[in-house]
Homo-oligomer: A and B are copies of this chain.
Amino acid sequence: MTVKKLTIKEFAALLGVSTATVSRAFSSKGRISAETRRRIITRAKESGYRPNIHARNLSTSASSAITLYYPEFSNEEPDYFIAELMLGINRTLAKYGKILQISPFPLETSEVILDLCRDQILSGAAAGIIIIAGSKTSRELYECAAGCGMPEIVIGHMREVRYNNVWFDNRRGAFLAGRYFRETGRRHPAYLGGVLDRRKQNGFSEGFQLPESEIIKAGSGFGFRDGYRILDIIAAEHPETDCILCANDVMAMGFIAAARERGIRIPQDIAVIGYDDIHPARYYSPALSSVSLQLTRLGEAAALSLERLIGGTTDLPPELIECELIIRESS
């Protein structure tokens, strides 16, 4: 029972005005009398007329959508990092009447999927895009968008990206954690993360004042389960470990859950610090110490910058959102 929708032509005829006038009533820029506009808007509500957005987009070659591209570390668990970010992005976009599209891509992106993403970008569906840095695909998408002049903001650190970048300093964050462990008397550090993040490891080792080679590394993913599983490895191969920095909070929670089952006390036996400081961290038991990235603020900053770019600003200087070590009970 699809209802035939009114076109601007039909609607204009109905009111006895021209299509141009109707268009002006909706576009809020053209010169039109307040009286006429009011009348048109009122009648539009009654008759259910709304400008067709595709026609408008085509005509103005604009769009009211923003696309967020992010690597999907797991297709079983939601990504809480992204969830916090989206909160900030959405909050900001709403102010500009924009809508958020989300486009996760698998970590191991096939050429086919990459092409699909490129198609999306090149087809001009979005007014701008936000890309989460940290995978090869991110970089490819960045270049695709750059190549066709699509406004884009990168969140996180991407090599050679000098502008339009909102970032956090992982080196610094991990440094803070390392220094804290050292200062609180820990001696046998480990780093848990699915992928080697040189900046985190580098900062961690520097904060701990220990060569990188002496810091245990383990892990093969970024989810709860990955953190949970790692305990076995640590217990078997590095039983002396007394403090652990995790690549994210979720892994830390998984790790702690496993430790609890084994009777390993947190923080007495092993001190744990997570990363990102997602909301559940403070309500965890023990309340999770974490490096706060202020993700929601980060999302807001990214959306705001993108909006500027779309508005015509060019080459926004990179914006650093300071990270902060939040000590709770787990360390």
Residues of A within 8 A of B (CB): 1-3, 5, 48, 50-58, 61, 63-65, 67, 75-80, 83-84, 86-87, 90-91, 97, 99-104, 116, 118-120, 122-125, 147-149, 224, 228, 250, 253-254, 256-257, 260, 278-280, 282-287, 296
Contact = CB atoms under 8 A, between A and B. Distances in A.
Contacts of A75: 87, 91
Nearest to A45: B115
A256 B286 CA distance: 11
Contacts of A103: 99
A90 B102 contact: yes
Contacts of A50: 118-119, 122-123
A84 B101 CA distance: 17
| Number of copies of this kind of chain in the complex | 2
A48 B282 CA distance: 48
A147 B3 contact: yes
A62 to B, nearest CB: 9
Nearest to A74: B87
A224 B279 contact: yes
Given A80-B78, A260-B285, A2 B124 contact: no
A54 B57 contact: yes
Given A77-B87, A99-B120, 4 more contacts: A5-B124, A48-B122, A54-B125, A76-B296
A55 B53 contact: no
Given A83-B78, A149-B2, A123 B91 contact: no
Contact of A123 (B53, B123, B284, B296): B53
A82 to B, nearest CB: 8
Contacts of A149: 1-3
A83 B82 CA distance: 10
A43 to B, nearest CB: 14
A58 B48 contact: no
Contacts of A125: 53-54, 64, 99
Contacts of A282: 224, 257
A299 to B, nearest CB: 10
A266 to B, nearest CB: 9
B58 A54 contact: yes
Given A101-B99, A103-B99, A279 B52 contact: no
Contacts of A254: 283
Contact of A48 (B76, B147, B283): B147
Nearest to A1: B149
Contacts of A148: 2-3, 5, 48
A83 B279 CA distance: 14
B97 A116 contact: yes
A268 to B, nearest CB: 15
Nearest to A259: B285
A105 B103 CA distance: 21
Scoring A56, A91, A101 by chain B CB atoms within 10 A of each residue's CB, the highest score goes to: A101
A276 to B, nearest CB: 12
A283 B3 contact: no
